[in-house]
Amino acid sequence: MNKDLILVTGGAGFIGSAFVRYMSSKTRILVLDLMTYAGDMRRLGEVPPEQMSFIRGDICDEALVSHILNTYRPKAIVHLAAESHVDRSIDGPQAFMKTNVEGTMNLLNCATNYWRSLHEGDRDQFRFLHVSTDEVYGSLTFDEHPFCEDSPYLPNSPYAASKAASDHFVRAWHKTFGLPTLITHCSNNYGPWQFPEKLIPLMITKSLQSKPLPVYGDGSNIRDWVHVNDHVAALELVLDRAIPGSVYSVGGNYEISNLNLIKLMCATLDRYAPRLDGLSYQEEIIFVQDRPGHDVRYAINTTKIKSELGWTPSVNFSEGINQTIQWYLNAQDWIRDISNLSTYQQERLGIGVVRSNQS
C-alpha cells in the first residue's frame, strides 16, 4: 500500500477540488473524475504537479476502478463524486441513481477486493470515506432540534434519496464485509469555484448580468451554511482520527433563510459592484413557484465532531460570504466560460433562466 497516496473521486468538482488543494501539501493525491459539466481542471491549477495525478473516468467502470486501486494502491479513498443539484434530480433522477447509488456500490465492491489483498497492517490503516449530505434526513420545522448522527432518514428529493441509498450501502459494506468505512453529512457548502447552478454563485452571476433573482416560494426556507474550507478540514480529521464505522455531522452553525441570504448578498454587491442606475440589486428579486418537495429547514448539530475530533468551523459567515463574493467578482472570465454553454445546457443548469437551487 502506498501510504503517501489518497484516491479522491470527484476531485475536479467544487468540494473535491477544495479537498485536493487542502491536502496536496500533506500527501499525494490521485484524482478520478468523469469531467461532466461540474468538473473543471482550473480548480486544481494551483496544486503542484508532483503532488497530484489525474485520471478521467467513471466510478461505475469496474475494470477501471479495480485497475486504479491495484496499480496505485492508495491508503484511502475519499468519495466525493456525485450528482448533487436538486433541481436536476427532479428533471432527470436516473442519472442520480446511476452515479450516486450504482457508482458508490461499484467503488465499495472494488475497494473491498483491494482491501482484502492488503497485508494485515495495511488493512488496519486503510479507510473509505464517503461524503454525504444532511438532506438525507429530510426537513426540519422551524423549531425542531438540528439533525444529528442518529436522526432518521427521510429524504424528500431524488437527489437526497440517492445519497441516502448510497449511505446505506456504505454502512452495509462495513457491517457485512468489514470494510473500514466512514460517513460524513455536511450542510450547504459555499466558497470559491462553486458551479453557478447553486444558490450563492447563481445569485451573484444573475445580479451582475442584470437578470431577475428568483426565490422559491416566499423565501422562508432555512439552510445552515459551512465554508468549503472548513468542510475539507473536517474531512481530514475524520480520515485521520475516526474509528471505522463512524458517522459525523459537519455544519457551519449558521442558519439563514434563503430570502435573507439573497438580500445580504445584494447589499454586499451594492457596496462592491454598485449598479449603474444607483438602485439596489434587491430590486431584481422575484418570487417563483416553489420547488416540489422543497425542504423547509436544514440545521446540523456538530457536538459529536467537536467533542470527539476537536473540529469547529473557523470561517465567520459574514467574512466568508464577503470573500466569496469578491472572488466571484474577480472571476468573471471563468463565469463567462461557464455561461458560454448551449441554450439547452443553460436551461438544464438554471443559467440565464428563471430558476434557482436553494438546497
- Catalytically active residues, by annotation: 134-135, 159
**How many CA atoms does the CB half-sphere of 329 hold within 13 Å?**
14
Beta strands in the chain (DSSP E): 2-9, 28-33, 52-56, 74-79, 127-133, 181-186, 188-190, 213-216, 222-227, 247-250, 255-257, 285-288
User: Cβ contacts of residue 172 below 8 Å, gap of 6+?
Assistant: none
Residues of 269-295 as b/e, b for ≥16 C-beta within 10 angstroms? bbeeeeeeeeeebeebbeeeeebeebb
Angle at which helices 199-208 and 332-339 pack, to 10 degrees? Answer: 100
3-state secondary structure of 243: coil
Tell me the β-bridge partners of 29. 6, 52
**How many CA atoms does the CB half-sphere of 71 hold within 13 Å?**
9
3-state secondary structure of 276: coil
If one counts every other C-beta atom within 10 angstroms of the C-beta of residue 237, the result is 17
The conformation of residue 316, written as its DSSP 8-state character, comes to: -
Residues of 309-343 as b/e, b for ≥16 C-beta within 10 angstroms? bebebebebeebbbebbebbeebeebbeebbeeee
User: Cβ contacts of residue 151 below 8 Å, gap of 6+?
Assistant: 137
Q: How far apart are CA 286 and CA 214, in angstroms?
A: 5
Q: How far apart are CA 84 and CA 224, in angstroms?
A: 17
